[in-house]
Amino acid sequence: MTQRAVQRLPRLALLLLCAAYVLPGVFGRDPWKNADVTAYGYMTSLLRGEASWLHPAIAGWGGTEGGVLPYWIGAAFMKVLTPWIDPALAARLPFALLLTATLALVWYATLHLARTEAAQPVAFAFGGEAHPVDYARAMADGAVLALMASLGLLQLGHETTPELVQLAATALLLYALAASPYRIGASRAAALVALTSLAASGAATTGLLMGLAGALVCWRSSYAESRRLVPWLLAACVLAGTIGTLLDAWVWRVIPTAAWLGLPKLLAWFTWPVWPLAVWTLWRWRRQLLKRHLSVPLAMVLVALLVSASMGASDRALMLALPALAVLGAFALPTLQRSVSAAIDWFSVFFFTASALLIWVIYVAMHTGVPAQPATNVTRLAPEFVPRFSLLALGIALAGTVAWMALVRWRTGHHRHALWKSMVLPAGGVALSWLLLMTLWLPLLDHARSYRPLVQRLATHLPTTGCVVTQNVSRSQIAALEVHGTWRLSLDPRTTDCQWLLMGHKERLNTPEALQQTPEMPGWTLVARERRPSDRDEVMLVYRRRP
């Protein structure tokens, strides 16, 4: 590895790329179904004083499974910032900061792992090899780009959910294990904070397993400073277990079925394009798997895979493997052949350019009706949607598109020596697609993913205030009624002062069988049947109590 190959990615370019990845989706939208609006509902109930801070609930419905920390964070930001900005935006800001922290922690974790002796490139006979620090920085740049290119992080990483706190805590633990030979005090503090945060955000078992796996890796390390981290990791496990017990976070989530057989399929697309790089790393470095630059991320990946498989191939549990997978993928970059790098580049150019073109065509069709077929498809899939033009959104989308064309021109030029070159186009393409979706398509997606249209429909049949009983209604729907509505909700149909009842029902609207399948409620009269415009079978039945 020559010194020329480890040139740094310009800091301004990296920061702009991270901003284009993190910021879109933070502004100008409602909480989306299902987990996003549910988490926001818990935060809103805490802010209004309708639930205990130790036992968050929505309309009396608890079940946070010990994950109170994310709701504390969101409610605290809402308490401080709500007088000046929208509450949904105030709740979303700390989670955007957590995603930013995850990217930064992956960068520093890779930096410290790449500085170890076993990870360094061989020295040349007459000099000219890469400087160790420059090599480590180039590897860190590649790891951040690989993490941003992961498809699974795109939506889940931009939600206001406990899993994002768990993701940041996992990246913090990865940093603690990686930096233990160089940042003794910081690594010990990071281990304590990471494991306790995992326990307080509903992942006590995952945190305990990762802590024990990290302790085993450090115990076998040839670095004395890493071995001294073992007692701190064990103490962090004890502290995390205590917090998990106090918060009742030890919940049995194992699914004893064959659902885990879907993990390979989920792994294939959810971790693309990082998993092929990680597999290549394990093959090319197979004689050094016990070295800490591979054993640290590999141990965390195996724990996350085990947890995801035990939960029936859970994508939210698998998301915790992405930081460590990105680190493993970065170590494949020095060994990639030029033909493989070229294949990655051309695939990224064609795929993301085609995606951007499709987004632009449908955007133009929404506002002009030309081409006719995309406009018809939008009308069919999102009834009642009225396009809203935003000059600011159009300007940002145009700037992102121009930046993508400049990036493609740069990459296909004569700049082929940088170590991180193979990850620039995948990360840039993902950021471009997300930016275009969250600017050009944001009104459409908000209309399709928000519960506000449904609540507005229900408001035409219900009084402005009063008590409403809910039955067979999901937690996310109750959260939406609490957030967007003005009613007092009750889960008990025997509540005598409630004159209205909302019942969730699965049916195909506008079919002959729909009326015949409507449930009869003794003592109640059916008033209306409403659904979200973009849902075909998620129906809400409105009943009124008979005199």
CA distance 209 to 22: 29
Average pLDDT score over the chain: 89
Asked whether the predicted pLDDT for residue 288 surpasses 80, the reply is yes
- Sheet containing strand 524-531, strands side by side: 488-490, 467-471, 500-506, 538-545, 524-531
Encoding tokens for residue 155? 């939506």
Instruction: Tell me the Ramachandran region of residue 474: left when phi exceeds 0, alpha when psi lies from -120 to 50, beta otherwise.
Output: beta
**Cβ atoms < 10 Å from Cβ of 466:** 13
Token pair of 546 as six digits: 């008979």
Give CA–CA dist 425/431, Å, rounded: 10
Strands 538-545 and 524-531: antiparallel
Q: What is the pTM of this model?
A: 0.94
Average pLDDT value for residue range 347-353: 94
pLDDT at 510: 53
Nearest to 329 by CA among 277, 398, 406: 277
pLDDT tier, 519 (very low <50, low <70, confident <90, very high otherwise): confident
Query: What is the enclosing helix (H) or strand (E) of 500?
Result: strand 500-506
Q: Evaluate if residue 509 carries a pLDDT over 60.
A: no
Q: How would residue 127 be classed by pLDDT, with cut points 50, 70 and 90?
A: low
Q: Where residue 60 falls among pLDDT bands split at 50, 70, 90?
A: confident
Query: Strand, coil or helix: what is 64?
Result: coil
Region 244-253 average pLDDT: 79
pLDDT at residue 238 greater than cutoff 80: yes
**Residue 30, token pair as written in the block:** 């409602």
Please report, to the nearest 10 degrees, the dihedral formed by the alpha carbons of residues 335, 338, 343, 349 taken in order. Answer: 110
Q: How many helices (H) and strands (E) would you count in the chain?
A: 24, 5
DSSP character at residue 61: B
